[in-house]
Chains A and B, each alone.
Chain A
Amino acid sequence: MEIEIQLTPDPIAEKISPPPSLGGQGAWLEFRGVVRGEENGGNISALEYEAYPEMATREIRRILESLGTKFPCLAAKVIHRVGVIPVGDTAIYVGVASPHRGEAIALLAEFMDRLKQDVPIWKRRAIVGGTDSVGRVTPCAPVQDRLPTRSGQGTARPTLKSLDEALVEIRSHCRPLPAVHTPLADAFGRVLRETVCAPSDLPDGDRSTRDGYAILQNDASGIFQVVDTLHAADWKPRRLKPGETVRVATGAALPCENLCVVMQEHVERDGDIIRITKQETALNLRKRGEDVRAGQPLVPAGVRLDAGRLALLASGGCTQPAVSPRPRIIHFTTGDEIVPPDRTPKPGQVRDSNSILVHGLLQKFPCSVVQAHLPEDFGAAKQLVLTFHRQPSTFDLLLISGGASVGDKDFTRPLLEWLGFEIIFSQVNVRPGRPLIFGVNGSQAAFGLPGNPLSHFVCFHLFVAAALAKLTGAEPEKFRRGRLAAKLNDPPCPRETLWSARREPAGLHPLAWASSGDVTCLRETNALIRVPANRGPMESGAEVDFLPTD
Chain B
Amino acid sequence: MRILFFAQLKDTTGCDAAEITSPAPLNAEQLWAELLKKFPKLAAHRSSVRLATRCEYAAPDAIFANGDEIALIPPVSGG
Binding site for B on A (CB under 8 A): 33, 49-52, 54-56, 58-59, 80, 91-92, 112, 115-124, 137-144
Measured between beta carbons, the chain A residues less than 8 angstroms from B60 are none
Q: How far is the CA of A227 from the CA of B57 in the complex (A)?
A: 86
**Is B79 in contact with A121, judged by CB distance below 8 angstroms?**
yes
- A-facing mask of B47-79, CB < 8 A → 1, else 0? 000001001110000000000000101101111
A52 to B56, CA, bound (A): 11
Q: How far is the CA of A439 from the CA of B55 in the complex (A)?
A: 41
In the bound complex, do residue A54 and residue B55 qualify as a contact, i.e. CB atoms below 8 Å apart? Answer: yes
In the complex, besides A50-B7, A123-B77, A140-B7, 12 extra interface pairs with C-beta distance below 8 angstroms are: A55-B56, A55-B71, A56-B78, A58-B55, A115-B79, A120-B76, A121-B77, A122-B6, A122-B74, A140-B11, A141-B14, A144-B16
CB distance from A400 to the nearest CB of B (A): 24
Q: How far is the CB of B19 from chain A (nearest CB, A)?
A: 14
Give the complex CA separation of A124 and B56 in angstroms. Answer: 21
- List 10 A-B residue pairs with CB atoms under 8 Å apart, sorted by A's residue number: A52-B71, A55-B56, A55-B71, A58-B56, A91-B79, A117-B76, A122-B7, A123-B78, A140-B10, A141-B10
User: Cβ of B15 < 8 Å from any Cβ of A?
Assistant: yes
A143, B77: Cα distance in complex, Å: 20
List of B residues within 8 angstroms of A51 by Cβ: 78
How distant is B3 from chain A, measured CB to nearest CB, in Å? Answer: 13
Q: Which of A117, A124, A142 contacts B7 (CB 8 A)?
A: A124
A211: shortest Cβ distance to chain B, in Å?
62
Contacts A50-B7, A55-B71; is A122 near B52 (CB within 8 Å)?
A: no
8 Å CB contact of B76 from A92, A118, A139: A118
Q: Which residues of B lie under 8 Å from residue A91 when comparing CB positions?
A: 79
What are the residues of chain B within 8 A of A54 when measuring CB–CB?
55
Report yes or no: B11 in contact with A141, Cβ–Cβ below 8 A: yes
| Chain A to chain B: the 5 pairs with minimum beta-carbon distance, closest first | A121-B78, A122-B7, A55-B55, A140-B10, A123-B77
Is B79 within 8 A of A92, CB to CB? yes
A33 to B79, CA, bound (A): 6
Interface flags, B1-45, vs A, CB<8A=1, else 0: 000101110110111100000000000000000000000000000
B4's contact among A52, A121, A124, A141, by CB below 8 Å, is which? A52
Query: Residue of B at shortest CB range from A62?
Result: B56
C-alpha gap A116/B79 in the complex (Å): 7
- Rounded to whole angstroms, the CA-CA distance of A122 and B74 in the bound complex is 9
Pick from A92, A138, A143, A144: contact of B78, CB under 8 Å: A92
Q: Max chain A CB contacts within 10 Å: which of B8, B14, B74, B79? A: B79
Question: Could you say which residues of chain B place their CB within 8 Å of the CB of A144?
Answer: 16
Known A52-B71, A55-B71: A116·B6 in contact at CB below 8 Å: no
In contact, B78 and A80 (Cβ under 8 angstroms)? yes
